[in-house]
């Protein structure tokens, strides 16, 4: 481990080698600037965070209580504040990541304005957001280190050796805010070459983990909407290969690929693959195609297709747009085949997009996958598209009915109503929600739990509350009581917004560069001094 003193010694030696030309350089200042910027490039970040993810995956394999979590962030500041809060409340960022949602990029980061989650946004906005997130996380490091350097200076000035040693140890054992980002590349934004080019940009920006889905790129839909169309396995595996080649080309040898399947809710395919040998993936995929059995060519009309499935020939069911329908009730079987095939061809983790958060349903799928790949692990979307309250109240209701328990006081279709709040049923449902991540990690193979769009919703909710109060009778008290006073009393560093934005870091740099001639912003007339005691 490089200590603060080691850094200073190295800087002093380097400066000394330059003679008088670098006499104005202070080795301690050099050491501080180096420690405040631990990662010089996005590839440095990708290599560092890939190692963390691999360690966490191995830890989960040993003990499924060691699952990991993340929240989706649509701006660097949001990601920064999330990790600062995690360090404040839990003392470490370990096992906590960030998620970059393609949905939020489309809805909030496109130059076209708000867009649906259909891969219509600029693909370059994905690596741009990765770079932005890491820029803000690195700035969080620099800010916290600046506070530690100030503590060290004050301890040395007062001659307090115990305090000085404590500050020194805090600097040497500093834990970065830089954590893995699971980054959404949608369906790859084109053919496999397009996927490779975008993956490279994402990795160069810092991504150690890329999530890719098996929908048709130019017909991609949000995973929780209708109209999803999947691609044959060979097409999807080509894109997994493209991402892996991008990782290897850039030297991120342990980069992580999450293979997402939307087959559970996808009833259509764009094309029927060509089988090269009996039982190959193309034949297995085509076995799910729906159609009318053909026993005579007289059943065929101009433009009809004929597909042989085993000993039977069918006329595939096609929509007016040429898309081909799968057989009903085959989604689960297609999911299992998708997942096994992906893991056998280079993917590291799975993502199964489900229509509800039901541990039994997820576990049933994972157990089938694990019959072939025993260490299969999931990344799972704890989606805001689910009505969690209604889903879990109905799950409890159904469980009670199955157990013969009296449910006459409840209306299953109206369980979202406030009249059921505080009931025995709602309390049990809430307890199931509270334990969902822990229980699903243990019972359904979920290594990583994420919420895709939480900060989209929290931004809307907090803004609504502020607007209601500030523009209403509360006036300025609406801001002071519900925002600033809470920031102060709950210890949010952001209340000192000048410090958070880097003003004090800039003052230090001015002093490094200009000495006593530096014009600082943190003088006695800075109104941030009103928060000095916080």
Residues annotated as catalytic (active site), given as ranges? 222
Q: What angle do CA 330, 336, 339 make, to 5 degrees?
A: 135
Terminus-to-terminus CA distance in the chain, angstroms? 32
Between CA 7 and CA 13 the distance in angstroms is 10
Say how many CA atoms lie within 13 Å of 242 toward its Cβ.
25
Task: Name the pairing type of β-strands 378-381 and 324-325.
Answer: unpaired
Sign of the C-alpha dihedral, residues 264, 267, 272, 276? positive
CA distances from residue 421 to 390, 393, 412, 428, 461 in whole angstroms, order as listed: 11, 10, 14, 11, 21
H helices of 388-502, in order, are 388-402, 424-434, 436-443, 454-470, 476-479, 485-489, 497-500
Q: Give the gyration radius of the chain's Cα atoms.
A: 28
Neighbours of 515 (CB within 10 A): 10
Nearest Cα to 397, choosing from 412, 409, 413?
A: 412
Strand order in the sheet with 268-269: 229-230, 268-269, 324-325
Ligand-binding annotation for 333, yes or no, is no
Q: Exposed, middle or buried: residue 344 (CB in 10 Å: 0-12, 13-18, 19+)? A: exposed
> Would you say 175 and 74 are in contact if contact means Cβ atoms under 8 Å apart?
no
Locus of tokens 């493209």: 242
Closest CA to 195 of 212, 208, 180: 212
Q: Number of helices (H) and strands (E), helices first, in the chain?
A: 20, 14
Q: Which residues are annotated as a binding site for Mg(2+)?
A: 184
């Amino acid at each position: 481990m490089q200590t603060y003193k080691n850094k200073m010694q190295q800087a002093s030696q380097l400066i000394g080698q330059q003679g008088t030309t670098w006499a104005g350089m202070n080795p301690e200042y050099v050491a501080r600037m180096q420690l405040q910027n631990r990662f010089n490039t996005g590839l440095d970040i990708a290599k560092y965070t890939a190692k963390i993810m691999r360690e966490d995956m191995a830890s989960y394999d040993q003990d499924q209580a060691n699952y990991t979590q993340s929240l989706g962030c649509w701006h660097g500041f949001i990601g920064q504040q999330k990790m600062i809060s995690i360090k404040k409340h839990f003392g470490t960022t370990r096992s906590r990541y960030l998620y970059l949602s393609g949905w939020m990029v489309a809805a909030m980061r496109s130059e076209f304005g708000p867009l649906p989650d259909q891969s219509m946004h600029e693909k370059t906005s994905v690596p741009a957001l990765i770079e932005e997130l890491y820029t803000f996380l690195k700035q969080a490091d620099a800010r916290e280190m600046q506070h530690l350097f100030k503590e060290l200076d004050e301890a040395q000035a007062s001659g307090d050796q115990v305090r000085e040693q404590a500050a020194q140890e805090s600097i040497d054992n500093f834990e970065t805010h830089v954590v893995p980002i699971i980054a959404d590349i949608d369906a790859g934004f084109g053919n496999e070459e397009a996927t490779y080019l975008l993956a490279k940009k994402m990795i160069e920006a810092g991504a150690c983990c890329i999530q890719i889905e098996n929908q048709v790129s130019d017909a991609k839909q949000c995973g929780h909407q209708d109209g999803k169309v999947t691609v044959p396995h060979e097409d999807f595996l080509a894109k997994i290969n493209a991402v892996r080649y991008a990782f290897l080309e850039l030297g991120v040898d342990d980069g992580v690929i999450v293979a997402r399947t939307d087959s559970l809710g996808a009833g259509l395919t764009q094309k029927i693959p060509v089988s090269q040998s009996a039982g190959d993936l193309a034949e297995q995929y085509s076995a799910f195609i729906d159609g009318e059995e053909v026993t005579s060519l007289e059943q065929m009309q101009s433009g009809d297709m004929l597909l042989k499935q085993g000993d039977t020939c069918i006329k595939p069911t096609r929509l007016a747009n040429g898309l081909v329908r799968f057989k009903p009730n085959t989604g689960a079987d297609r999911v299992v085949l998708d997942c096994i095939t992906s893991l056998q061809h280079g993917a590291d983790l799975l993502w199964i997009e489900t229509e509800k958060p039901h541990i039994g349903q997820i576990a049933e799928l994972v157990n089938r996958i694990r019959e072939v790949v025993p260490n299969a692990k999931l990344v799972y979307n704890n989606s805001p598209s689910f009505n969690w309250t209604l889903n879990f109240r109905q799950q409890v209701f159904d469980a009670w009915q199955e157990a013969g328990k009296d449910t006459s006081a409840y209306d299953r279709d109206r369980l979202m109503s406030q009249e059921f709040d505080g009931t025995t049923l709602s309390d049990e449902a809430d307890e199931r929600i509270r334990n969902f991540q822990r229980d699903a990690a243990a019972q359904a193979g979920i290594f990583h739990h994420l919420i895709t769009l939480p900060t989209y919703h929290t931004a809307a909710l907090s803004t609504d509350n502020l607007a209601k109060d500030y523009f209403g009778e509360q006036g300025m008290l609406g801001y002071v009581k519900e925002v600033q006073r809470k920031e102060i009393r709950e210890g949010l560093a952001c209340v000192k917004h000048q410090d958070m934005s880097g003003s004090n870091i800039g003052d230090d740099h001015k002093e490094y560069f200009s000495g006593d001639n530096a014009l600082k912003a943190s003088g006695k007339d800075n109104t941030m001094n009103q928060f000095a005691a916080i």
